[in-house]
Structure 1
Amino acid sequence: MNRIKQAFKDRLWLGVIIVGLFAGLIGGGIALGINNLVQHHEEVTSTRVPAGSNKSGGTKVNKNKADLNGEASQAYKSVQGAVVSVINKQKVQQSSGTLGIFGYGSSNGSNSDSSSDNKLETASEGSGVIYKKSGNSAYVVTNNHVVKGSNALQVILSNGKKVNADLVGADSATDLAVLKINATNVKTVASFGNSNSIVPGQDVLAIGSPMGSEYANTVTKGIISAKDRTLKAGTDGTLTSVIQTDAAINSGNSGGPLINMAGQVIGINSMKLASDTQGSSVEGIGFAIPSNEVVTIINQLIKNGKITRPSLGISMVDLSNVTSDQQQSVLKLPTSVNKGVVIMDVNSGSVADTAGLKKYDVITKLGDTQVTDAGSLKAALYKYKVGQNAKVTYYRDGQQHTATLHLTKSADTTSTDDSQQDNN
């Protein structure tokens, strides 16, 4: 009997436990379901587009809190009126006959094209900056390549007025040119700062007409990336020292000013580095001619209309273009000499002839400057003036010699020679 009672009690407690577990599972499931429903409702409510609309608007423009008279803005305003667009106009042959189904022809039906005239059209556009005003004349500095080949020149002032311009002088070696215009409408003249005092990291602005006069007076900001880069400039490959900047410089900016935050011109924008690899581009690497060099050149152009530089009176090739076998067998150079220029011809009565230089002499030094190629020789030579003396170091038959060059001769440095053999 006791066993029966005990079994009954055990079953009773087992049932209670089972019922409790079952009730807990149901209660938890209900609670979880209710929680999911609440969460789903909140998500739907927060993402649903509200009904109705605010027809009254209410959005407004707040007061501009930016400094509109910052350093860069003030620098730009002080120079902007002196920056111009330069228009290069060239002659284009056009027939004056009637237009037939096969092109132009004469009105009487013949094929003669003797009746034609020349029309001036815009060949290219660049930039410039007015730096001097004297009486009724004002003077603009720009790049030589901007005005090269022109039959007529025009300048568009900052106010949009177009005036004619005369070419005072140009120099291909430094890629600089000076124009003269009527000063009646000129209100602002730029000033030059000392380019020897600039430092890398310094803020600068480039102003000009990128892609033409449609975008005249465009200003871009950057820094001085490097103070003294050596590049081949102009049309004769002369090495020159330029300022590197990351201020955006594009086609049409050529001839425009690079200014510091005081509004002084510290360089004339001249070129942008381009990649030789097809399909690739280089950004943030532009170059400007230092203002100290600019002032030296434009003063001479104003005075003489050209730049007079000393000439050696030789033709030459880079030693690097001579094979190592010929360097040993013909030039008889020591193995330690692998850079310089080889004289290929000496003009009779020239500076080089007077100094005793001969064919196959290898020039390795001029003054204190090492000569590595024709460009470096020209760069070293152009530091001298006509009438000065310069010491030249050269090799002949394997032996080193020195001589004194009396730089009494000058040459037209605007001429170029695209052949491998260079002249000076």
Structure 2
Amino acid sequence: MSYYNDGSSKRRPSTFFIVVIALVSAIVGGLIAVGIVVPNVNANRATNQVVLGQGQTTPPVNVTNPTGFPVAEVSKAVGPAVVGVGNFQQSGRLFGNSGLSEAGSGSGFIVDAKNGYIVTNNHVIEGAKKLVVSLADGRNLDATLVGADARTDLAVIKISSVDNLTAVQLGDSEKLQVGEPVVAIGNPGGQEFARSVTAGVVSAKNRVLQIQGESSFNLIQTDAAINPGNSGGPLVNYQGQVVGINSVKNAEPGFEGMGFAIPITDALPFIQQMIEKGYASHPGLYVSIDDRYTEEWAAQQGWPAGAYIAKVLSGGTADKAGIKAGDVVTKVNEVTINNALDLTRALFKFKPGDEVKLTYYRDGATKEVSVTLAELKQ
């Protein structure tokens, strides 16, 4: 199954890559090395706690408006807080900025008008040498990277000019109901189609895709059109509240109306971390997982389903707890683990420093051990 994730490329599950077990981004055959901490490369870290929604925010939407067009009211209310994000990268020889050209574009939305913070997808800003934000009033402003996290496909950027900015209202994605109407706003195809509005419903909740970043969340599925360039833009309910971050669509021939958004309630802790610390913090075990260990293969060997430990980092938290290569993790606390993705998603519910009980299979016997989760930074 193929997916589009931005304005220029087709997004599909990876076949092999290195990740941290706390947040396996794509689990599609191959050895996944877990425990490598990627250095933080963000600029302009915020050091003080920031409360999102500071400054002017979009007005609440009256769904009983006498015009009878709630989508129009949502668009009018939220549109000013939606931005375009241009990703400029080096092309040819670099002479000042003359060697930079727009490699792709996406969308974003202002979450803090007072400080100029904007949320988007990591894949929108990935590899950028320069970021340019286009506002609803026609201004084009340079932006700086505050924090980016490939494991959740989230990023926060900042513009220094905060005059006349409007921030979105954030809703509660956990309260969404299947069939509830929603509106997607973004820049499909770039500035030419800036702040395009599409409408639909919540088609389903708790969808799992084996795609880098999005596999960390139970996604919102919607039939509101999500096109290349919509990535990073808001999915909005009829109260004018952002309930999701549009991130990916099913681009397989024959499929229509299958877009997916990261739930805002699940994303918010990582957004806050990036604003406050400059990075998103994740729990980890410092092990390598071989996702070729499937339930079917395990059954043929007479082994239980689970997550197969291929390597344990010496001195890491799992090593200290006595976990060894060849162990098969079958439970985290009381949650059953059938594969590598299950382990990722189970650990995702905890924080670094939390202690969890791992149940694992070794040499024909089931054992238990307590492990303190390490902190992993992007």
TM range (shorter): 0.7 to 0.9
* Residue-by-residue CA offset, 1:317-350 (whole Å, 9 max, x unaligned): 125359849963xxxx44xx2x222111111111
Moved beyond 4 Å, runs of 4+: 321-327
Contact 1:84 1:158 in 2 (8 A): yes
Cα shift at 1:288: 0.5
**What's the C-alpha RMSD, in Å, of the aligned pairs?**
2.3
The structure that has the greater radius of gyration is 1
Alignment of structure 1 residues 105-184 onto 2, 5 Å: 119-134=99-114, 137-184=115-162
| Cα distance, 1:386 vs structure 2 | 1.2
1:69 CA drift (Å): 5.8
Q: 2:35 matched to which residue of 1? A: none
Q: Which amino acid aligns with 1:181?
A: I
Task: State yes or no: 1:297 paired with 2:270.
Answer: yes
* Alpha-carbon distance, 1:364 to partner: 1.4
Aligned to 2:217: 240
Instruction: Read off the aligned partner of 1:260 and give its amino acid letter.
Output: N
Distance 1:186 1:143, change over 3 A: farther
Q: Can you list the C-alpha shifts for 1:149-189, whole angstroms capped at 9, x where unaligned?
A: 00010000012210010010011111110010134343321
How big is each residue's C-alpha offset from its partner over 1:56-76, in whole Å with a ceiling of 9 and x where there is no partner?
xxxxxxxxxxx7562221111
Contact (CA 8 Å) 1:127, 1:252: kept in 2 or not?
A: yes
Does the C-alpha gap of structure 1 residues 325 and 287 become closer, same or farther in structure 2, counting only changes over 3 Å? closer
Aligned to 1:255: 232
Contact kept? 2:94, 2:100, Cα under 8 Å: no
| Within-5 A mapping of 1:265-304 | 265-275=242-252, 280-304=253-277
In the alignment, the residues of structure 2 paired with residue 358 and residue 224 of structure 1 have an alpha-carbon distance, to the nearest angstrom, of: 43
Q: Which has the higher contact order (CA 8 A, sep 6+)?
A: 2
Q: Confirm whether residue 374 of structure 1 aligns to residue 374 of structure 2.
A: no
* Whole-angstrom distance in 2 between the partners of 1:157 and 1:293: 26
Structure 2: distance between partners of 1:344 and 1:307: 26
Give the whole-Å Cα distance in 2 for the aligned partners of 1:73 and 1:322: 49
Distance 1:233 1:197 in 2: 25
Contact kept? 1:244, 1:286, Cα under 8 Å: yes
- Equivalent pairs counted in the alignment come to 314
Residue 192 (1) aligns with residue 170 (2): yes
Alpha-carbon offset, residue 138 of structure 1? 0.9
Does residue 318 (structure 1) correspond to residue 294 (structure 2)? The answer is no
- Tell me by how many angstroms 1:370 deviates: 2.3
Corresponding letter in the other structure for 2:71: A
1:275-329 deviation digits (Å, cap 9, x = unpaired): 2xxxx2421000001010121111010011111212211112125359849963x
Distance 1:271 1:117, change over 3 A: closer
Contact 2:184 2:198 in 1 (8 A): yes
Q: What is the TM-score normalised by the length of structure 1?
A: 0.70
What are the ranges of 5 or more consecutive residues in structure 1 without an aligned counterpart? 1-66, 97-115, 415-424
**In the alignment, what sits opposite 1:411?**
376
When normalised by structure 2's length, the TM-score is: 0.78
Distance 1:158 1:380 in 2: 40
For structure 2, the residue ranges without an aligned partner over 5 or more in a row are 1-65
- Structure with the higher helix share, 1 or 2: 1
The one-letter amino acid paired with 1:288 is A
Alignment match, 2:321? 355
Q: For the structure 1 residues 358 and 124, does the alpha-carbon distance in structure 2 shift closer, same or farther, using more than 3 Å as the test?
A: same
CA distance in 1, matches of 2:191, 2:150: 24
Q: Distance in 2 between matches of 1:84 and 1:186?
A: 14
Distance 1:323 1:69, change over 3 A: closer
